[in-house]
Amino acid sequence: MSDQKKKILLVDDNIDNRVENKSLLESRDYEVITAEDSKDGWNKFKQIKPDAALIDLIMEEHDSGFILCYKIKNDEHGKNIPVLLLTSAAYLTGFKFGSSTSEEKEWIKCDEVINKPIQIDHLVMKLESYFRQYEIKTEA
């Protein structure tokens, strides 16, 4: 694995979440680029070509996170990076969903759904696991 810091694109319309999660990820030696909505997130994704993307589910529209994940995962670069969907929907509504079954993966174009509030140790463990998986895929 490279000694260069991994670039994480963090897209969240809530400034408190952006600031807190950016700080937590930077404390774990990641370079974090933030975006405040899905349009800004898509533009920054194309510009910086991040090593991973963390996307809030509900931003300017209820499906903004889904749509951004779909666009990223259909991009040539995005196919080769982990994309995690962040949500507080389970906390707020009791509705739980994921991306573990084949049916869920068909309509939720992300590697994993992570519930908020973010547990940084869990998130870092997931990111590092996905980085290893994607490195193996691209080396094969």
**pLDDT tops 70 at residue 133:** yes
Mean pLDDT of the region 76-84: 96
> Could you give the CA distance from residue 132 to residue 48 in angstroms, rounded to a whole number?
21
Q: What pLDDT shows up at residue 115?
A: 87
Mean pLDDT of the region 124-128: 97
> Could you give the CA distance from residue 70 to residue 23 in angstroms, rounded to a whole number?
27
113 contacts 84 by C-beta, under 8 angstroms:
yes
Q: What pLDDT shows up at residue 1?
A: 45
Mean pLDDT of the region 96-125: 76
> Any idea which of 21-30, 52-61, 129-138 has the lowest mean pLDDT?
129-138
The per-residue pLDDT of the chain, averaged, comes to 87
Mean pLDDT of the region 126-139: 88
**pLDDT tops 90 at residue 131:** yes
Residue bearing the bigger pLDDT, 62 or 101: 62
**pLDDT tops 90 at residue 94:** no
Domain ranges of the chain: 7-139
Query: Which CATH number is 7-139's, of 3.40.50.2300, 1.10.287.3510, 3.90.180.10, 3.90.1150.10?
Result: 3.40.50.2300
Q: What is the CA radius of gyration of the chain?
A: 14
User: How many secondary structure helices (H) and strands (E) does the chain include?
Assistant: 6, 5
